[in-house]
Amino acid sequence: SDGKENKVAPPPRLEMVLRKNKAKIPLEESLSINPFVGKNEESPSGKYHLRGVVHHVGSTAFSGHYTTCAKRALHPDQQGNDEKKSDDANNSPPDNEEQWMFFDDRVGAKKDMDYVTGNERNQRNCYMALYELR
């Protein structure tokens, strides 16, 4: 051995499948795994940010109903608010603006972070949380 350690890089995406007992599961907008990184593992340079949540209502995974909240990038003409936009660059929305969406069968609706992480029904029905390293 030449004294170098083989470091294991952190995964770019993190999925957490949660066993359900209807307990309230608080979700965080971002999380760090640094406290859990072993000595032979590379610490991630950023944090994991919530990208999606799958909800399940039903007694088993094979029956019931699934819904999801997912973060998506907005098309440039969807960015910013509904007020008249100015040509001033200081009032322009960022190029990477994103919006949380709730999907239930064929219905999609815009939601905010509080709905995704703070809604008690969503916390009790959380089946899977998906995080991405940024």
- pTM score, two decimals? 0.72
Q: Which pLDDT band, with edges at 50, 70 and 90, does 30 fall under? A: very high
**CA 20, 26, 29, 35 torsion-angle sign:** negative
CA angle 105, 107, 54 (to 5 degrees): 55
Q: Across residues 11-18, what is the average pLDDT? A: 77
pLDDT in tens, 41-58: 777 777 899 999 999 988
